[in-house]
Amino acid sequence: MNEFNPSPEPNLSPECTENARRIQRFLDGESNWDTPQLLQHRLTCQQCRTLLRTAKVLQAGLQNFPPPRPSPDFTNKVLARVEQESPRFVNTRSSSRRYSRYSWGAFAAVGMALSLFLGWFTFNLVLTTQVKRSPIPPTQLAKLSLPQEANTPQPKPLGEKARETRGLFLNVAKNRLERTQRQADLLAAMTPKKEGEEDANPDTLAEAKNGMNRAIEPFTGTARRALEFFNPRPSAPPK
């Protein structure tokens, strides 16, 4: 360092140290008034007087400091580069690409939910039709029901049960879809090319890792790449 180091140094008097400290506060832009002791000290201390004058020179110079400006077409250059390196951000039709990259699991979940829904719907429809076409009139049908003494709980009407089950499956599918989408989003954010962790928040990274292990099967190249990223093989070269 040098003689103007604001941090206390053994060779600086307490007044010189205080002067340096106040000059830092002055440059911080804080209201800063001399104490009588400090004024008195500077009358006899050339070093502190010079330091103060230099601080004022610096402050004046900073007011004229021209802010650096990027080139006029900077924004266009950035967007062109984003399009080149991360096209899904610029291309409005990119959503299909994004889904094809990240959401096979989500599509599978939706497909499963739809099949189940259709299955239950058909089943329900067939049974309702059978009841309607039943040759036995409703009065006879009532006689065919289980005897009172069996006292078993009445089964819920099939329509309601089917609805309930359908809802349950849809719920599961929806949760899974959301979770998968969230993990895919995190993955997209967490696995940028090769450097990876550099800009990542450790908590988000841990969350992504954890969530991925639970929620995403290695359906896609991205997911496989991500798994390798989080669980590198021993043979992988060190970073």
Partner 1 sequence: MSEDAILVRRILQGDSSAMRELVSRFQREVYGLCVRYVGSPHDAEDISQEVFVRVFRSLKSWDANRPLRPWISRIAVNRCRTWLANRPKRPEPVDFLHETPARLIEDDSRELVDEIQKALDLLRPDYRGVFTMFHEQGCSYDEIAEVFDRPVGTIKTWLHRARTEILSYLQNRGMVPKDESAESNTLQTE
Residues that bind Zn ion (CB under 5 A): 16, 45, 48
CB of 196 to partner 1, least distance (A): 11
45 binds, among partner 1, Zn ion, none (CB under 5 to 8 A by kind): Zn ion
16 binds, among partner 1, Zn ion, none (CB under 5 to 8 A by kind): Zn ion
**For residue 159, which phi and psi values (nearest 5 degrees)?**
-55, -45
CB of 80 to partner 1, least distance (A): 9
Separation CA 171–CA 173 (nearest Å)? 5
Instruction: Check the CA dihedral 142-146-149-152 and report its sign.
Output: negative
CB of 209 to Zn ion, least distance (A): 57
71 binds, among partner 1, Zn ion, none (CB under 5 to 8 A by kind): partner 1
146 binds, among Zn ion, partner 1, none (CB under 5 to 8 A by kind): none
Map residue 207 onto helix, strand or coil: helix
What is the contact surface with partner 1 in residues (CB under 8 A)? 1-7, 20, 22-24, 26-27, 29-34, 38-39, 42, 46, 49-58, 60-62, 64-71, 74-75, 77-79, 81-82, 85-86, 89-90, 92, 94-95, 185-186, 188-190, 192, 195, 198-201, 204
CB of 4 to Zn ion, least distance (A): 10
Separation CA 125–CA 30 (nearest Å)? 79
Residue 183 burial by CB count (10 A; 0-12/13-18/19+): exposed, middle or buried? buried
CB of 56 to partner 1, least distance (A): 7
Give the list of residues 6+ apart from residue 169 with CB closer than 8 angstroms, or none.
113, 116, 117, 120
CB of 132 to partner 1, least distance (A): 48
Q: In one letter, which amino acid is 148?
A: Q
Count Cα neighbours of 45 within 13 Å in the Cβ-side half-sphere. Answer: 23
22 binds, among Zn ion, partner 1, none (CB under 5 to 8 A by kind): partner 1
**For residue 184, which phi and psi values (nearest 5 degrees)?**
-65, -40
> Which two structure tokens, joined as six digits, stand for 93?
């039709």
Residue position matching structure tokens 């991925």: 212
32 binds, among Zn ion, partner 1, none (CB under 5 to 8 A by kind): partner 1
